[in-house]
Every structure is written in structure tokens, then in C-alpha cells.
Amino acid sequence: MNTPSTAPNWDNYSRAQASGRWRKQSAMMGQHVTEAIVAAAQMERGMRVLDVACGSGEPAIPIATLLNGTGEVIGVDLSASALQTARERATQRQLINVRFQQAAAHQLPFPDNSFDRITCRFGVMFFDDLPSALGEMYRAIKPGGKAVLLAWGPMDQPYFETTIGTVLRMMPGASLPESAKNMFAFGIPDSLARALREAGFMSVEEKFSKYPWFWQGSPLDVWEYFQEVAVPFAPLLKSIPPELRPQVDAAVLQAIARYYDGQEIKFTATVNITSASK
């Protein structure tokens, strides 16, 4: 991801603090989609794997754990704070086959034909230059290697409809920022698959699937988390008039509560998992 002034600021201090505060709940929320991308990549012992836009280490850390000390996993991201969190997590797990470095998706600092697998979880939607980034992945992957990309499906799903969807309904005339619209760019069938084919990939397979997206905690917890980490929605959230804020908060919490069983909020997540080979 590039970082021009109009791009979301993925490395801001408050987001980094929130990611640490909610780390356990966030990891459990995304557990099922992480397992899905790892399974789709069909990892084998000894493989060399690149995880692009790895954030705080997903799925790089689960992949390294699965490879059980063999091969090499490299996670790249532009966010220095997220990479530091990833390094701390890997150290806590005593993983010796994973490392993290700062790099942009459109300019990968690796030789041609370097990796058996390339993964990207919830990152491809935000590449400023998608053809360039996919071209770099194609260049860096070995012949016969496989890339697996996971993106959000359409916005019409519980996690977003209860939160940002409620905000939009409470503010007639408001609209999603462009950065937020990008989140759902690959909710359109064949959109990501077509981009991969245009980059030169073959045997492209696109699949939309629904997974549990559970939050251990209260509706207030998940609403606070969403506001702190959902960078693409920040301009809209900041535009809520102070006098309207109590009503918006109440409406969001009421919407989330429909999925709350007293211990967990049981959302589902619809995602696009597209794989392709070189």
C-alpha cells in the first residue's frame, strides 16, 4: 500500500494502541477467516511463503506455526507499529521460521521466483496501484506457485450493517468515504479473479464463503473497537455532529445487541477467497 495524503493512515498512534488493547478479541474474531486462507493456500513443510500486508501477523504467524520450524515465512507491511506487534507475537511463540519487514506491495524487495506461496488477508482492497501490486506478486512467486488473497465481500453483512450502516441511516445525506468503499470492491463476483488473470495468473478460482465472526464481549466493546481500528471509516465517524452522537451510539448498540447472547456477539463474515497459480 502506498501512503499518499488521501490514503487511510494505518500507522496512527490511536489505532496501534487500540490494536494492543483488543488484541485477544480481535484475533478470536478473525480466527475462522485466517484458518480459511491458510487452508486454501495448501501449505507444505519447507515452503517459502510471503504474506503481503501482514499487519500484526495474520496469517504469517499461523502459517509459520503450521510449518513447524521448517521453511521461511516473511511478512511485509507499511505499518511499523503493526510489524512491531507481529514481531512481539512471533517471539512470544518462539517461532524461528518467520520474520517481518517494512515494504510496499507494489515494490516487493525480493528477487524473481522467490516464493512457493503468497498470501494476503484483508489487504488487497487497499492497494493504491492494484495492477502493479499483483504484478509484483506474480514476479516474486515461483512457477507453479500459488497466491491466495482474501477480501471482504459486500457491505451488506452484520458487522458493517450494525455499525457503519446504522451511522449512515442516522445521517441522511452522508456517504461512505472512498477509502471505505474500497473495502468492498471485491464483493462483486469475478472482480478480483479478473484482476489476477490480467496480471498473468492462471487457474484462478474465486469463492465467496461465510464464516463465524464472533466477538467475546459486549456490544459497547465491539463498537469502541470498531471506531478505534476501522481507519477507512474514520472521516465519516468524525463527521457525526456532537448533538447527534448519543442517538447514533444508542442506535448502533441496539443493532449490535440483536447478535449478542450475553457473552458473545455472533456476527458472520462473508469474504472472497481467490486463489491463482503462476
Which superfamily is assigned to 13-154+181-215+267-277 in CATH? Answer: Vaccinia Virus protein VP39 (3.40.50.150)
Does pLDDT of 190 surpass 70? yes
Does pLDDT of 1 surpass 50? no
* Long-range contacts of 232-236, Cβ-Cβ distance < 8 Å, separation of 24 or more: 232/8, 232/126, 232/177, 232/179, 232/180, 232/182, 232/183, 233/164, 233/176, 233/177, 233/180, 234/8, 234/177, 235/177, 235/179, 236/164, 236/167, 236/168, 236/174, 236/175, 236/176, 236/177, 236/180
Task: Return the domain boundaries, the chain.
Answer: 13-154+181-215+267-277
**pLDDT given for residue 53 in this prediction:** 96
Confidence of residue 2 (pLDDT cuts 50, 70, 90): very low
CA–CA dist 202, 42 (Å, integer): 17
**pLDDT given for residue 161 in this prediction:** 97
Does pLDDT of 17 surpass 70? no
> Over the chain, what is the mean pLDDT?
92
**pLDDT given for residue 229 in this prediction:** 86
Does pLDDT of 241 surpass 70? yes
**pLDDT given for residue 9 in this prediction:** 53
CA nearest to 110, candidates 141, 72, 143, 69: 141
DSSP 231: G
Look at residue 51 and give its three-state secondary structure: strand
Confidence of residue 230 (pLDDT cuts 50, 70, 90): confident
* Gyration radius of the chain's alpha carbons: 19
Please list, residue by residue across 93-120, b when 16 or more beta carbons sit within 10 angstroms of its beta carbon and e when fewer do: eebebbbbeebbbbebebeeebbbbbbb
DSSP H or E segment with residue 48: strand 48-52
User: What number is the average pLDDT over the span 69-87?
Assistant: 94
**pLDDT given for residue 20 in this prediction:** 64
**pLDDT given for residue 24 in this prediction:** 86
Over the stretch 92-147, which tens digit does the pLDDT of each residue have? 999 999 999 999 999 999 999 999 999 999 999 999 999 999 999 999 999 999 99
Confidence of residue 21 (pLDDT cuts 50, 70, 90): confident
Question: Apex CA 90: angle with CA 84 and CA 94, to 5°?
Answer: 140
